[in-house]
Each structure stands twice: as structure tokens, then as C-alpha cells.
Amino acid sequence: MNKQNTLTLLESLLIDYASGSLPLALEVLVESHISMNPSSARSIRMLLQIGGALMENSDPISMSEGSFKRLMDEIDGGQDEEIAKSEVSNDNNKLPLPLRNFISEATFPKNWRRIGIGLSEQTVDFGEELGNAKLYRIAPGFGVPSHSHDGNEVSLVLAGGFTDEYGSYGPGDISIQETGAVHKPVADADGECIVLAVNEGPIVLTSPVGRLLNMLIK
């Protein structure tokens, strides 16, 4: 998978959000992304406008190949609007507003569970039927062990940044890993990285030690 594939998957994710077809965990992730990314916010507004127009039109309208990209280029070329961005500090005192409804800021710092050197996690409870989501906190220069995915994974960088085999991602960026993709995200050296990840299935560790752990926890 390359960066272009990620962009195509992001376009599909925004369309699914606009159509109201995402589970709650992904819906909140996309709303948090929109609150941090003015370009995607413009795209969503346009998609919602298009959806409203299509609902009023009795004749079906198909989009030709490349039409979505042209639409996004047109939006990006338009007049910028002032859009408030969520701020997420490295001491974890702030979260994007859509996510705050599901995590109490009073208890947020206390809920981290160490799962490796330089790596902590906590579960975000959206309900069993509505998506499995976790927050990951990666120390500067450290990484998540190499792993693959039994199901798609959508990740949003809330603070800091990371690099994996497919690209580099900063605050507000979304990374999408499809089923079977293998990667090892490593946090940037200039600050810790906070990531919200929504997984359709379990993570499978792929290093020699990780494969042994996979067998032990089955």
C-alpha cells in the first residue's frame, strides 16, 4: 500500500461519514479529524451539500472516474474559511471535542496502561456493537512492535507524529491499514505521539518474539 492508496481510502471514509454509514467509533474518529483538518472539513460540507441535492433529485446521478478528486481540488482551491482546530497538548490535558464526550479529562491521565517500552494504551468505550477503539501513547523515538491487522485499522494522530513503511503522519492526519498490511509506527524524536486507533479485528504481532506471544495468548 502506498500514500496514494491511503488518500483514496480516506476519500471513501469521508463519503461513508457523509452518508451516515459508519459505526460510532469511526464516526467520532472522523469528526475529530475534521475538527483538526480544515481541508477535510470543507470536503465534508461539500459532500453533505451534494447528498442533500441528490436526495431532492429523482434521477440517479453517477460520478465519473476522477470526479471526486476534481471536486476535492475545487474545494481546496476555494476561499479558505476560519476553522477552529482542536489542540492536544503533550501532557494529555486536551482532546478534540468529539472525543471528549467519551473520555473524562479528569481521569484521562490515570487510565494509561503500559504495554511495552515507551508504549502505553487505554481503551475508549463506544460499546461492543459500535467499534473497538484505543488510544496509544508512544514515547519520542519509540515504536509500536511490527504487526499486521485482522481487519482494517483507521488511526488518527492527535499529537506529535509517527512514521511507518507507508509515510509520515502529523496532528490531524489519518493512516489507514487494510487487512493483512504489516507496519511498525515509530514516534517522531521531537515529542511523544498520541494516536486514536479503530480496529475491525485484533492486531497480530509479526516479529519472532511477537509470533511467540501470539501463540501464548490464544
Q: Are residues 121 and 204 in the same domain?
A: yes
Q: Are residues 47 and 102 in the same domain?
A: no
Output the pLDDT for position 31. 92
In a domain, residue 70? The reply is yes
Q: Are residues 116 and 60 in the same domain?
A: no
Q: Are residues 46 and 146 in the same domain?
A: no
In a domain, residue 83? The reply is no
CB 183 within 8 A of CB 126: no
Q: Are residues 72 and 103 in the same domain?
A: no
Output the pLDDT for position 14. 87
Q: Are residues 110 and 170 in the same domain?
A: yes
Total of domains in the chain? 2
CATH code for the domain in which residue 50 is found: 1.10.10.1320
Alpha-carbon gap, residue 72 to 42, rounded angstroms: 9
In a domain, residue 8? The reply is yes
Q: Give the 3-state secondary structure of residue 97.
A: helix
Q: Are residues 53 and 125 in the same domain?
A: no
Output the pLDDT for position 130. 60
- Name which of 153, 168, 142 is nearest 203 in CA terms: 153
Output the pLDDT for position 59. 53
Output the pLDDT for position 75. 45
CB 113 within 8 A of CB 180: no
In a domain, residue 18? The reply is yes
Domain residue limits at 130: 97-217
Q: What would the grid cell of residue 36 be?
A: 483538526
* Backbone phi, psi, residue 37, to 5°: -130, 100
In a domain, residue 89? The reply is no
Q: What would the grid cell of residue 52 be?
A: 442533500
Output the pLDDT for position 125. 83
CATH code for the domain in which residue 115 is found: 2.60.120.10
User: Which parts of the chain sit beneath pLDDT 50?
Assistant: 1-4, 53-55, 58, 60-61, 63, 67-68, 71, 74-75, 78-92, 208-218
- Name which of 125, 118, 140 is nearest 25 in CA terms: 125
Q: Are residues 40 and 129 in the same domain?
A: no
Output the pLDDT for position 131. 66
Task: State the pTM of this model.
Answer: 0.74
Q: Are residues 106 and 206 in the same domain?
A: yes
Q: Are residues 198 and 137 in the same domain?
A: yes
20-48 residues labelled b (16+ CB within 10 A) or e (exposed): eebbebbbbbbbbbbbbbbebbbbbebbe
Q: Are residues 71 and 138 in the same domain?
A: no
In a domain, residue 174? The reply is yes
- Name which of 30, 31, 37 is nearest 80 in CA terms: 37
Output the pLDDT for position 162. 96
Q: Are residues 133 and 201 in the same domain?
A: yes
